[in-house]
Amino acid sequence: MEQGTFEVKVGLAEMLKGGVIMDVTNAEQAQIAEDAGAVAVMALERIPSDIRSDGGIARMSDPIMIKNIQKTVSIPVMAKCRIGHFAEAQILEALEVDFIDESEVLTPADDNNHIYKHDFKIPFVCGARNLGEALRRIGEGAAMIRTKGEAGSGNIVEAVRHMRSIINEINILSTLSQDQLMAQARDFQAPYLLVEQVAKIKKLPVPNFSAGGIATPADASLVMQLGAESVFVGSGIFKSEDPTSRAKAIVDSVTHYRDADKLAIASSGLKSAMKGLDISEIPEDQMLQERGW
């Protein structure tokens, strides 16, 4: 019997495809998420838009809050640690969370190194803006990639940019000849063997999800049609006027992301979405996606 192998970690990521992972800050919200049909919840003390407005250092959540959520729902429970903060990750592993998000939404703990994720039995998800960044994270052991987008903005433009970059770069890579791949690995600053593998299989070797700015059923459909295999919704649900209806509507829109008639139904009669931010309103030093490398 083997546990904590890369195969076993990616296995859970595969099961979460075609679904929605929702940020929740307490057991009540976690129950709303599960009732809506979420495939997992992300337990965190403050959702990204509050982290953004509150300022200060954002850290791993209180274990008591994570445990309460684990007791409440049967779907997988994820939690975030700071970039490079392997001690927080060790604590989350001891709590037996199902997935760890080494997340740029929290304040980075190491400005140079990400966590060596192969050391852990629990799978990790990491954010990426392009293929090189995705492959660096997979090289460190990430079992799932998500776009960074711009968390807490309610603005889909960055997630779209990141998903298009990753998909475009995969497409271009798959047209290169073998003798061009090393130079490409150098330009991507990514492990050669992973570059070679992606060129061959024409997709990431782990599931590729989207996060950062998804606020409506149409947003979810957009990133799914661009190539995302699932979506994370952070502030978009519990910062909206009617979280219960919006949670269900976004789940239904991921299941039927190509069916415009179903999307029209899912989009109908929802109360206000979160207000959101234009990216130009966010000072450059407060752009969360710039965290990590």
Task: Examine residue 172 and tell whether it contacts other proteins (CB under 8 A).
Answer: no
- Which of 227, 235, 233 is closest to 257 using CA atoms? 227
Task: Examine residue 14 and tell whether it contacts other proteins (CB under 8 A).
Answer: yes
Q: Tokens 């919840």 identify what position?
A: 41
In whole angstroms, give the CA distance from residue 99 to residue 77.
7
Whether 67 sits among the annotated catalytic residues: the reply is: no
In whole angstroms, give the CA distance from residue 249 to residue 213.
16
Q: What residues from 16 to 45 belong to the interface with other proteins (CB under 8 A)?
A: 16-19, 34-35, 37-40
What count of residues does the chain have?
293
CB of 227 to other proteins, least distance (A): 13
Q: What residues from 228 to 257 belong to the interface with other proteins (CB under 8 A)?
A: 251-252, 254-256
CB of 230 to other proteins, least distance (A): 9
CB of 273 to other proteins, least distance (A): 22
Q: What residues from 45 to 104 belong to the interface with other proteins (CB under 8 A)?
A: 70, 74-76, 93, 96-99
- Kindly tell me the sign of the dihedral angle through the C-alpha atoms of 228, 232, 234, 236: positive
Q: Which is nearer to other proteins, 189 or 244 (CB)?
A: 244
DSSP string, 209-257: EB-SS--SHHHHHHHHHHT-SSEEESHHHHTSS-HHHHHHHHHHHHHTT
In whole angstroms, give the CA distance from residue 213 to residue 208.
16
Here's the x/- map for other proteins, 121-160, by CB under 8 A: it reads as xxx-------------------------------------
Indicate the residue type of 234: G
Write out the H or E segment, with its range, that includes residue 126. Answer: strand 124-128
Q: Which is nearer to other proteins, 120 or 188 (CB)?
A: 120
The helix/strand/coil state of 23 is strand
Q: Which is nearer to other proteins, 263 or 282 (CB)?
A: 263
Task: Examine residue 268 and tell whether it contacts other proteins (CB under 8 A).
Answer: no
Q: Which is nearer to other proteins, 101 or 133 (CB)?
A: 101
Q: Which is nearer to other proteins, 95 or 135 (CB)?
A: 95
Could you say which of 9, 80, 117, 148 is catalytic?
80
- Which of 152, 126, 124 is closest to 54 using CA atoms? 152
For residue 50, give both structure tokens: 């509050």
- Give the residue numbers marked as catalytic: 80
Site for other proteins, rule CB under 8 A: 1-5, 7-8, 11-12, 14-19, 34-35, 37-40, 70, 74-76, 93, 96-99, 121-123, 251-252, 254-256, 259
